[in-house]
A and B are shown apart, each in its own frame.
Chain A
Amino acid sequence: MLLSFFILFFISLFFDALYILIPISALFSFYSFISGKKYLLKPAGGWKFWIVPLIFIFLSPFFLSQNFSYSKEGLLKSVSIFFHLYIFNFAFNLINDSFSPYGLYALLEKKNMKKAASSAFLALAYFSRFKREIETLNSYCALYSGSKFYFIKKPSLFFYALARNAFSAALDLSRLLYLRKINI
């Protein structure tokens, strides 16, 4: 089912004709209602994100004419752009709702991709440590310089500190795995 939706989405990228875009949009909307997944039609990113593109689509028929008067050609173009956005929004929500970190880890284990699963596990374990490291780095910068935005004045130092922290964490983790003889 997912694959067929992505094929339809991929097909829609190459056509601007409404007789292709409207049936695809109708099919996606039909699926959302039939399957009870109406959240697939919600605006991805919230309404605030879509205000500017919608204003652009609404004003396009006027911009695309000779003397800023309303043009039918412009209207057809802007309707085509709207349906492209609609299909993209659906595809985007489908991807967001189909994947989760635990589902991905379970899939990798099921397919016997132990190396990939180990890397994924290590990555998620380091993720929370990295968040704390950024907060600590920021606090030290603020303490040292008296300003919360020290890293904006000296960005190269900040990036080097991040790289160095990751490097030393990688060294520690490698030594630990090697000494414990963990099979990767």
Chain B
Amino acid sequence: MKYSERIKFAVSAAVFGSAWGALEAFMGSYLHMLNIPFRGAIMAGIACVLMSSGRAFAPYKFVTLSAASVACLIKLVGIGAFKLGPMAGILIEGIIAEIVFLLFGLNSFSVFTASFAVCFEGIPHFFITSWIMYGGGIFETYLIVIEKTASVLGLPKDSYMAVLFLWIAGHAAAGFFFGKVSSASVKKLKNEI
């Protein structure tokens, strides 16, 4: 790597990772405290805008993953008590985006795909976090509680599928919105260089 490329790599990871981590540390903590729905997808989408911009600034391999590592470091020292889950989420989002950019390069399609894929990270994240916090037995408990609630309310047993569908659709909508924002941002930023 040339000297100028090394500088751009380090600065991109530092600046965009720091911005991401700062947003996660402050905005992410407030959203979690207020229990805003789809807060994971919202934070993932914002992260993708920054990751795509960082990639546009320094289009080198593993720069997105480095930015994710820096964001983890910043999140660790930020406010809020629960950092383990968000930190794991940040790293996984970085890995997903890095894989997409390595496969497809940097273009409108890859930026949109990366944002869309990253916003879906919240779905397995919920199941893995529940497993880690409460153990594997919690899912059986959840299903029993849902079935009992459905029978009390007079709803069919598989009514939870509608809720699951809405949950997944919400993540897809967030992914679509942030995909458009990321693509437009990267296009504008490239024109401004």
List residues of chain A with CB under 8 Å of any chain B CB.
Answer: 12-16, 44-46, 49, 53, 60, 63-64, 68, 77, 80-81, 84-85, 88, 92, 95-96, 99-101, 104, 115, 118-120, 122-127, 130-131, 134, 155-156, 159-160, 162-164, 166-167, 169-171, 173-174, 177-178, 182, 184
Contacts and interface: CB of A to CB of B under 8 A. Distances in A.
Interface of B: 3-4, 6-8, 10-19, 21-23, 26, 46, 49-50, 52-54, 56-57, 66, 70, 73-74, 76-77, 81-84, 131-138, 140-141, 144-145, 148, 180-181, 184-185, 188-189, 192
Contacts of B136: 13-14, 16
Contact of B10 (A81, A101, A122): A122
Please report whether the interface of chain A is mostly helix, strand, loop or mixed according to DSSP.
helix
Contacts of B10: 115, 118-119, 122, 177, 184
A45 B185 contact: no
Given A16-B136, A85-B133, A126-B15, A162 B50 contact: yes
Given A49-B82, A119-B13, 15 more contacts: A64-B144, A77-B140, A81-B138, A81-B141, A120-B14, A123-B15, A160-B188, A163-B50, A164-B188, A164-B189, A170-B11, A170-B57, A177-B7, A178-B4, A184-B7
B135 A99 contact: no
Contact of A101 (B12, B73, B185): B73
A45 B134 contact: no
A174 B131 CA distance: 43
B70 A13 contact: no
B50 A44 contact: no
Contacts of B14: 118-120, 122-123, 125-126, 173
Contacts of B181: 155-156, 159-160
**From A115, A156, A163, A184, residue with most partner B Cβ within 10 Å:** A163
